[in-house]
Amino acid sequence: MIRTVATTPFDGQKPGTSGLRKKVPVFQQPHYVENFVQSVFSSLEGYEGKTLVVGGDGRFYNREAIQVVLKMAAAAGFGRVMVGKGGILSTPAASCVIRKHKAFGGIILSASHNPGGPHGDFGIKYNIGAGGPAPEKITDAIFAATKTIHEYRIVEAADVDIDTLGTTTLAGMTVEVIDPVADYAELMAQLFDFGAIAKLFTGGFTMRFDAMSAVTGPYAKAILEGTLGAAPGTVVHGEPLPDFGGHHPDPNLVHAKDLYDLMMAEGAPDLGAASDGDGDRNLIIGRGRFVTPSDSLAMIAANMHLAPGYKAGIAGIARSMPTSGAADRVAEKLCIKCYETPTGWKFFGNLLDAGFATVCGEESAGTGSNHVREKDGLWAVLMWLNIIAVRGESVADIVRGHWATYGRNYYTRHDYEEVDASAADALVADLRARLAELPGQSFGGLTVERADDFAYHDPVDGSVTTSQGLRIFFSNGSRIVYRLSGTGTAGATLRVYIEQFEGDSSRQDLDPQSVLADLIALSRTLPDIPGRTGRSAPDVIT
């Protein structure tokens, strides 16, 4: 039986770059999930009788939210829901399933790399039939609907068993519980040279993959250990836990420090890798050599023709604006375009759909290709394995060789977290107002060449997205970028991105923080970060 329930709008149900993200207790308020899901359905058209894909990263409240989505999808008139067993689907796997089964769209329950548990974060995101995050037009419509909602529709029924593979019905709608790994693993086998990678492992290649007690555990175990023959125990923290074992499932040098320390120590394995809460981010560390995400994108782009799925070469590269220019140098050499987009994966969708770009990446540990419409952590790891296997070189050799050929873009990101939101807004607004007067000014030997507020003109649909970050370029080719995070759940996070090119191979293997010291100092004084935020140093340096 379908029940229509009276409700009232909640403040702030505005989906950001990665869907709606809030603390768990916010989602636990009566009608909160229902309001948002109804607003999603209200902003869509023509889904009756069609398929919806549903799954999440297994975090706390995943199961409860999935039951609500199932009952509301049935009430809305979807014909079928495909749900990952146990409610599990990594974000890239969800994208893969949506595309493969030509679903109308999908709902992904995740707050990505944010901590989970009863006091952690939760999130809901809608993906379109192409498999990628909903474009602004839809998220705006969802937000508008959350402001006027007065009722939602839900089926009154017992909870659906999502732990048994197979098909059941819910008020006339088919519920198909699927193996969360199968479709994804099949796609990976098509893209990569599994024979060469398996040989690498047989030859004694060693690896540690840290799934951070998040969603990639089952995927990594099945593919790396099960199919490719990596030694049992290669995958650590391989069970998805509702609170990720109390850790931050963010594969960076702070939250994956154990892995980093292992990789820098005597007797380290050949490759260390990790992924985040929902499986779309990646961390790549060779023995004694961390690969920055910006460099990883460039190195993958330069080598990905070695993987069978990309043997015809790549059409173009896309990177988010704050990502370093390393990929641009590869594009130049390959005589292809490198597109510069605003932060957030959704901006890559059009470029991939139109065939303008084959590979894309962000400095925030996201890398992916046209195989799905999300960034894909395990894909990046398999790509590195494929490249290592074919080239027969270590990660460290590949990195050094790349820099010698293309030069090195020294790069760092400094994050000032949980800053007072109005102070952060004012800092950015005041700097924005000063942009026009900066060119020509010198700051201790660094002369500003140009400065702007990044705006993106989508070459596919012609849309324009403004105010995507303040960029200051210096005459020696260096750059500082400022932007506010769109994914935080407490206060504001100011991100400062600092970059400088080095073409001389004898100076390419130095510590980035030292090489960039002058720019870093300037990045703080220019907008007076200490005075305005009370912070003399960033909280996180990557």
Binding site for Zn ion (CB under 5 A): 112, 276, 278, 280-281
Q: Which residue, 374 or 499, has its beta carbon nearer to Zn ion?
A: 374
Residues in 467-506 at the binding interface with ligand G1P, rule: CB under 6 A: 485-487, 495
Q: Is 412 in the site for ligand G1P (CB under 6 A)?
A: no
- Written in H, E and C, the secondary structure of 310-375 is HCCCCCEEEEECCCCCHHHHHHHHHCCEEEEECCCHHHHHHHHHCCCCCEEEECCCEEEECCCCCC
386 binds, among ligand G1P, Zn ion, none (CB under 5 to 8 A by kind): none
DSSP 505: G
Min dist CB 535 to ligand G1P, Å, is 17
120 binds, among ligand G1P, Zn ion, none (CB under 5 to 8 A by kind): none
Min dist CB 218 to ligand G1P, Å, is 21
278 binds, among ligand G1P, Zn ion, none (CB under 5 to 8 A by kind): Zn ion
Q: Which residue, 112 or 533, has its beta carbon nearer to ligand G1P?
A: 112
Q: Which residue, 54 or 196, has its beta carbon nearer to Zn ion?
A: 54
Task: Name the token pair of 247.
Answer: 């850790």
Q: Which residue, 131 or 366, has its beta carbon nearer to ligand G1P?
A: 366
Min dist CB 362 to ligand G1P, Å, is 4
Of 129, 398, 111, residue with least CA distance to 281:
111
- Crossing angle (nearest 10°) for helices 293-303 and 395-406: 80
Q: Residues near 307 by Cβ (< 8 Å), separated by ≥ 6? A: 191, 192, 193, 383, 386, 387
Q: Which amino acid is at 100?
A: K
Q: Which residue, 62 or 487, has its beta carbon nearer to ligand G1P?
A: 487
Min dist CB 494 to ligand G1P, Å, is 10
Q: Is 542 in the site for ligand G1P (CB under 6 A)?
A: no
User: For ligand G1P, which residue has the nearest CB?
Assistant: 485
Q: Which of 41, 345, 348, 416 binds ligand G1P (CB under 6 A)?
A: 345
Q: Which residue, 256 or 395, has its beta carbon nearer to ligand G1P?
A: 256
Q: Is 91 in the site for ligand G1P (CB under 6 A)?
A: no
Residue with tokens 């949506």, as numbered in its chain: 98
Q: Which stretch binds ligand G1P (CB under 6 A): 5-13, 51-59, 167-175, 358-366?
A: 358-366
Q: Is 362 in the site for ligand G1P (CB under 6 A)?
A: yes
Min dist CB 539 to ligand G1P, Å, is 13
- Crossing angle (nearest 10°) for helices 136-148 and 32-42: 130
Q: Is 118 in the site for ligand G1P (CB under 6 A)?
A: no
Q: Which residue, 122 or 205, has its beta carbon nearer to Zn ion?
A: 122
Q: Residue 295: is it exposed, middle or buried by C-beta count within 10 angstroms (0-12/13-18/19+)? A: buried
Min dist CB 38 to Zn ion, Å, is 25
Contact between 504 and 426 (Cβ < 8 Å): no
User: For Zn ion, which residue has the nearest CB?
Assistant: 112
343 binds, among Zn ion, ligand G1P, none (CB under 5 to 8 A by kind): ligand G1P
Residues in 171-190 at the binding interface with ligand G1P, rule: CB under 6 A: none
- Is 112 a catalytic site residue? yes
- Written in H, E and C, the secondary structure of 44-104 is CCCCCCCEEEEEECCCCCHHHHHHHHHHHHHHHCCCEEEEEEEEECCHHHHHHHHHHCCCC
Of 450, 449, 423, residue with least CA distance to 528:
423
What stretch of H or E contains 500?
strand 492-502
485 binds, among Zn ion, ligand G1P, none (CB under 5 to 8 A by kind): ligand G1P
Min dist CB 528 to ligand G1P, Å, is 22
Of 294, 216, 213, residue with least CA distance to 249:
213
Min dist CB 122 to ligand G1P, Å, is 15
Min dist CB 360 to ligand G1P, Å, is 11
Q: Which of 38, 39, 112, 275 binds ligand G1P (CB under 6 A)?
A: 112
Q: Residues near 405 by Cβ (< 8 Å), separated by ≥ 6? A: none
What string of DSSP letters covers 178-225? E-TTHHHHHHHHHHS-HHHHHHHHHTT--EEEE-TTSTHHHHHIIIII
Contact between 386 and 198 (Cβ < 8 Å): no
110, 112, 296, 369: the active-site residue: 112
Q: Is 343 in the site for ligand G1P (CB under 6 A)?
A: yes
Q: Is 17 in the site for ligand G1P (CB under 6 A)?
A: yes
374 binds, among Zn ion, ligand G1P, none (CB under 5 to 8 A by kind): none
Task: Name the token pair of 214.
Answer: 């998040």
| Dihedral Cα 62, 65, 66, 69, nearest 10 deg | -160
Q: State how far the Cα of 234 lies from the Cα of 81, in Å rounded to an integer.
A: 34
Q: State how far the Cα of 427 lies from the Cα of 424, in Å rounded to an integer.
A: 5
Contact between 80 and 46 (Cβ < 8 Å): no
Q: Which of 364, 370, 489, 533 binds ligand G1P (CB under 6 A)?
A: 364
Min dist CB 378 to ligand G1P, Å, is 16
Q: Which of 13, 15, 18, 109 binds ligand G1P (CB under 6 A)?
A: 18
18 binds, among Zn ion, ligand G1P, none (CB under 5 to 8 A by kind): ligand G1P
276 binds, among ligand G1P, Zn ion, none (CB under 5 to 8 A by kind): Zn ion
Q: Which of 213, 303, 320, 350 binds ligand G1P (CB under 6 A)?
A: 320
Cβ count near 257 (within 10 Å): 10
| Dihedral Cα 207, 209, 210, 214, nearest 10 deg | -170
CA angle 32, 25, 494 (to 5 degrees): 100
Q: State how far the Cα of 521 lies from the Cα of 217, in Å rounded to an integer.
A: 40
Residues noted as catalytic: 112
Residues binding ligand G1P (CB under 6 A): 17-18, 112, 320, 343-345, 362, 364, 366, 485-487, 495
